[in-house]
Structure 1
Amino acid sequence: MMKSLILIAITIIAGAMAMSIKTDDDSCPFPSQLKPKYDFSWKSKSGEWQNLTATTAYMMLALSWSPTYCATLSQANRDKEFQCMPSNGFGLIVHGLWPQAAKAPNVRAHPRNCRDEAQLNATFVKRFFCIMPSEDLMQGEWEKHGTCYYNQPMDYYVITEKIYQALRIPTNNVMTSSSAVVIKDAFLTLNSPALFASAVQIDMSGSKLKEVKICYDLQFRYASCT
């Protein structure tokens, strides 16, 4: 009996070590004060566009590796980003949940910026801050992507949180691998047998992880990223 209990304990510990820890709503850092203004207007953003005619065929959950993102910023801008403060320890965060068109020839063929929406309130931002630790990002993703499939931001972020939390994430040691193959294999192994290779995309910036993208059909079952 004692041997069985020990084996169970070892199995639980090993499983915990195999994944990065995900925190709940009350256990991740939160800024003492949000920015007063973080509303998003695509018309004022260079390089933004609107696509109201594309049909959503599937969804893509984009996850951003914080160390690589933060390294792209100047020191001054990095110091302003709560996500990038070393003491906060953010790793893989949700970049967004993106409605995607089937067989799109380019990024502009996907749905985008379907409605202009009011600034999300601070209570809402705090509710989802652990998965997306930036009020600017949260507002922008809702307006750029969420509005093209959802009527309410709560619906968009609840499903985003749900599928993110259902995903088993490799350890940070795996995420710092210079090999996209190693990172992808780790996701496939941890999420076997449901997750399959064509439902996962790994984007690298040189030898560093940039983003992990997981695709779903409209019932949020894993689907090929096509």
Structure 2
Amino acid sequence: MRKWSIKSGNPHPVRRTGIFAAFLALASSLVIAPAQAQSYQCGAPTGLSAPAERKPASEPRRIKPVAGYTLALSWSPEFCRMRQDSRRDKTQCSGDDGSFGFILHGLWPDARGPAYPQYCASTKPLPPAVVKRNFCMMPSANLMAREWAKHGTCMTKRPETYFRVSRIMFDAVRFPNMDRLSRKPLTAGQFRNAFAAANDGVQPNMIRLKVNKRGWLQEVKLCLGKSFRPQRCPAFMKATKPENAIKIWRGA
């Protein structure tokens, strides 16, 4: 089990200017076990690029104090279930560039209410080195560009910093045996218990699930405080009822 503990000091309150400076200084004190393989035979395709993401006209720009974070983990087999032939999702779903279990959807800053900060600054295209370095964690250049524009700009000025911290948090997560869980009747409460049991210091009330209308697991969200430690999810964050049955798609 991976222990969610920081052995020295407390990070300073997070601000967009100088963001993560204290956290990155403490990163060496995070005892992170070797990352579980969530990608198989993964390799970034050549010529991959991530153009700058523009703020949609329908989306407001919200600059707010950061009160915590959400680490959103997408279950790729379910996402790709009907997208194997999609040109838009080719790098994640075709199997040509790897097979994926959990991927990082994003590291999101939260406010004290449901109106979270977003699109805090305009962006430039992501450096190719950033796209290549993070591909096996987030196997979509378009997703990287969107997450940086919508969420990362509210946390730091540099995409390298945003994705570096995202990798630290993603690599710290231990995942339960999804194959075993997929082969038996399962409720949302039982899944949260299994996920929490795999991560020392994480409780079921620190986890939220996204399940589609057909009952299949789509996403796991881990609630984090300002110091990036897991914390109880806020009351305004929608929760799947513990007794609800859920299913896990293993892939074709």
What TM-score do the two structures reach when normalised by structure 2? 0.70
Distance 1:184 1:123 in 2: 35
Q: CA 1:122–1:174 in 2, change beyond 3 Å: closer, same or farther?
A: farther
2:211 to 176, 181, 204: 204
Are the aligned partners of 1:188 and 1:195 in contact in 2 as well (CA < 8 Å)? Answer: yes
2:111 match: 101
Task: Give the counterpart letter for 2:67 in structure 1.
Answer: A
Are the aligned partners of 1:79 and 1:85 in contact in 2 as well (CA < 8 Å)? Answer: no
Summarize the alignment of residues 23-172 of structure 1 with structure 2, pairs less than 5 Å apart: 28-35=42-49, 38-43=51-56, 48-71=58-81, 73=83, 76-77=85-86, 80-86=89-95, 88-104=98-114, 109-172=115-178
Which structure's CA Rg is the greater one? Answer: 1
> Which consecutive aligned stretches of 4+ in structure 1 deviate over 3 angstroms post-superposition?
174-179
Give secondary structure in 2 for the equivalent of 1:170. Answer: coil
Distance 1:186 1:53 in 2: 36
Distance 2:216 2:203 in 1: 23
Give secondary structure in 2 for the equivalent of 1:131. Answer: coil
Are the aligned partners of 1:180 and 1:209 in contact in 2 as well (CA < 8 Å)? Answer: no
Distance 1:182 1:111 in 2: 32
Structure 1: which 5+ runs fail to align? 1-15
**How far is the alpha carbon of 1:72 from its aligned partner?**
5.3
Deviations 1:72-92 (A, max 9, x none): 54x642675210123521111
**How far is the alpha carbon of 1:147 from its aligned partner?**
0.4
1:221 aligns with 2:229: yes
Distance 2:122 2:88 in 1: 29
Give secondary structure in 1 for the equivalent of 2:171. Answer: helix
Greater helix percent: which structure?
1
Structure 2: which 5+ runs fail to align? 1-32, 235-252
Between 199-208 and 79-88, report the one with greater CA deviation: 79-88
Are the aligned partners of 1:114 and 1:148 in contact in 2 as well (CA < 8 Å)? Answer: yes
The count of corresponding residues between Structure 1 and Structure 2 is 197
Distance 2:217 2:56 in 1: 31
Task: Give the counterpart letter for 1:64 in structure 2.
Answer: S
Deviations 1:178-216 (A, max 9, x none): 532232111111112x10122111111122110000011
What TM-score do the two structures reach when normalised by structure 1? 0.78
Distance 2:181 2:127 in 1: 33
Q: Give the RMSD, CA atoms, in angstroms.
A: 2.5
Distance 2:156 2:162 in 1: 6
Give secondary structure in 1 for the equivalent of 2:223. Answer: strand
Give secondary structure in 2 for the equivalent of 1:86. Answer: coil
Give secondary structure in 2 for the equivalent of 1:123. Answer: helix
Q: CA 1:204–1:218 in 2, change beyond 3 Å: closer, same or farther?
A: same
